[in-house]
Amino acid sequence: MGKRYIVQTFGCQMNVHDSRRMEEVLADAGYSPTDSPTLADVIVVNTCSVREKAEHKLMSLLGTLRPLKEQGRQVTLAVAGCVAQQEGERLLKKAPFVDVVLGPDNIPELPTLVAEAERGAPPIARTVFDDVAPSFLMARPRHEEVTAFVTTMKGCDERCTFCVVPYTRGSERYRPASDILGEVRRLVDGGVREITLLGQTVNSWFEDLSDKPRGKRAPSRSRFADLLRRIADEAPELTRLRYTSPHPRHVTPALVDAHRELAVLPAHVHLPVQSGSDRLLKRMARRYTREQYLESARLLRSARDGLTLSSDFIVGFPGETDEDFEQTLSLAREAGFVAAFCFKYSPRPHTAALALGDDVPEAVKDERLARLFEVIAEQQDAHLASLVGTRVSVLIEGENQQVAGRFTGRSERHEIVHVEVPEGARPIGEVVEATVVSAFKHSLLGRMDGGIPIDVPKKKKAKTALKIVGSP
């Protein structure tokens, strides 16, 4: 029997994407996947360090894997991702039973390091950034896949004071347009209908590195809108082109125009704001004001009928007063977010905010988080309820596992829609028109109109392939 691997993923979509690349390099080295840790020859834990909880989860997971090593089984244990990059050799001291610590830029080396560990090499930490010659591993189309991610850049040149990413992912490196277009083409030819461009500040993308602005206060000169246009031109069969996560200061007039003119861009943007208080935004070094953020939101909305926005928030950042938090609530209302990821601040190593202390009591953070959730939930409920009776175009991603005859996909605005289809229909990978018949807490129920998909792809029978097995 051949050798087997498990890659367990924590954290963001960038990590999910990296996990896929790890699976691919392991498959090239002759490994096949398994779900069972007791059968695996290699276990990779791909980690996230954005929040403290994720690190705790890692240490507790490693604790559960440790007996596999102690029982004398020949299994290689690798820790990858942001905690690996952040901790490096320290992680080997904290968990000496780990064999390989691997930074995000060192994924191609994974099979070699695993092979060396199997031959008895001592534990190793390999966490070197590829600043000089950045590499971007090409995603491979998977059988029956509807949606896929394509990396456009990595690293981050912003210095948000709460964020460890610039430390764990290095400075910004942009992928050449020809590479991005090649990967998009390959995925679309393989049957993918929706692509999400991926980057820490995805809309800061540059083609010409010599044109890259230097210095902290440099205004945005992003060429991201040009990239969107080139993809739209060169892959006209693509149904939807999303991107995540944009930074508000790179929402340029050209990007707003792209939303106005490119039908392939869906009517939804996830635009992280973090706080509604100018004082806090400054302490966070977000490099935009509340008014500038709201103006970008207004411009995006005016570019496309029915465009919805979602966002990210941090509550309880050091020094956050009741007044600051009220500003956050009022911004959430004014921007009309229909969804948001909201988190309590937790100090992270290597971040400037460490020097500010952590002075908002936990109970206050909890209370503010609950109030913010409440505002977002109210807006989400109202938004979903307003869609009942309307027609939506749904890109079907897979079969509903709970209810027979239902398939699940996303609307153009990114709402999850469960669609009842006529008997015998299996419209996976197709865009169907459905009438919304009811709204759930986080999703919609629709009924497929007429029984005929409005947009049948050339390649049929597709589904979303990747399972996220953990989150921070």
The answer to whether 91 contacts ligand SF4 (rule: CB under 6 A) is: no
Closer of 18 and 415 to ligand SF4 (Cβ):
18
> Using CB under 6 A, which of 12, 54, 165, 280 touches ligand SF4?
165
- Written as one letter, the residue type at 178 is S
Closer of 47 and 76 to ligand SF4 (Cβ):
47
The answer to whether 201 contacts ligand SF4 (rule: CB under 6 A) is: yes
> Using CB under 6 A, which of 20, 126, 173, 247 touches ligand SF4?
247
CB of 287 to ligand SF4, least distance (A): 9
> Using CB under 6 A, which of 7, 75, 163, 396 touches ligand SF4?
163
Cα separation, 185 vs 139, whole angstroms: 11
Using CB atoms within 10 A of its CB, is residue 185 exposed (0-12), middle (13-18) or buried (19+)?
middle
Report in angstroms the alpha-carbon separations of 133 from 136, 208, 289: 10, 15, 35
The answer to whether 360 contacts ligand SF4 (rule: CB under 6 A) is: no
The span of 20-28, 161-169, 391-399, 432-440 binding ligand SF4 (CB under 6 A) equals 161-169
The span of 3-11, 135-143, 158-166, 371-379 binding ligand SF4 (CB under 6 A) equals 158-166
Both tokens of 181, joined, read 């277009």
The answer to whether 342 contacts ligand SF4 (rule: CB under 6 A) is: no
Rg of the Cα atoms in the chain = 23
> Using CB under 6 A, which of 84, 92, 113, 156 touches ligand SF4?
156
Both tokens of 441, joined, read 């807490």
The answer to whether 166 contacts ligand SF4 (rule: CB under 6 A) is: yes
Closer of 310 and 464 to ligand SF4 (Cβ):
310
CB of 247 to ligand SF4, least distance (A): 5
CB of 163 to ligand SF4, least distance (A): 3
CB of 139 to ligand SF4, least distance (A): 21
Report in angstroms the alpha-carbon separations of 11 from 51, 64, 344, 397, 469: 9, 19, 16, 22, 9
The answer to whether 202 contacts ligand SF4 (rule: CB under 6 A) is: no
The answer to whether 160 contacts ligand SF4 (rule: CB under 6 A) is: yes
Closer of 201 and 408 to ligand SF4 (Cβ):
201
Residues within the interface to ligand SF4 (CB under 6 A): 156, 158, 160, 163, 165-166, 200-201, 247
